[in-house]
Amino acid sequence: MKTIKSTSPGQQFSSDKSVSLRGAIAKMEFITENIVALRQCRNGKKNVETLGDLKSYYRHFRTLTDKQMSLVDCLYEKTMKGLGFESFEATYKPKKGVRY
C-alpha cells in the first residue's frame, strides 16, 4: 500500500520573501513601461540608471535583497508621482548611497 506523505504548512504557502519578490518584479515591469514618468522626476537620469542596475542584478542572480526591494518601492512611488497620481513621501531622510 502506498503511503501519502503529509506536507507541513510551510510548504503549502509561499514565504513572505517570495511574495515580496514577485511584487518587486511586477513593479519593475510597470516602471519600465512608464520610464518617461520616472525620468521627469527629480534625479530622473540617476533613477533610470538605478533601475537598470536592479534589473541586471535580478537577471543574473534571480533574486533581490531586502534593501533592493525597498529601492524598487521608492522608484515605483516616484513613477506614480511622475504620472500625476498620489505617492508616498518618506518623512525621514534615508541614508545616501544604498549599497546592494
Write out pLDDT tens, residues 10-20. Answer: 555 567 888 99
What is the pTM assigned to this prediction?
0.75
pLDDT of residue 87: 80
pLDDT of residue 60: 96
What is the spatial distance between Cα 74 and Cα 90, in angstroms, rounded to a whole number?
A: 9
What is the spatial distance between Cα 9 and Cα 13, in angstroms, rounded to a whole number?
A: 7
pLDDT of residue 2: 54
pLDDT of residue 55: 97
DSSP symbols for the chain: -PPPPPPPHHHHS--HHHHHHHHHHHHHHHHHHTHHHHHHSTTHHHHHHHHHHHHHHHHHHS---HHHHHHHHHHHHHHHHHHTS-----SS-PPSS---
Give the tens place of pLDDT for each residue, 26-84.
999 999 999 999 999 989 999 999 999 999 999 999 999 999 999 999 999 999 999 99
Q: Chain centroid to CA 16: how far?
A: 14
- pLDDT exceeds 50 at position 6: no
Question: What's the CA angle centered on 19, arms 18 and 21, to 5 degrees?
Answer: 65
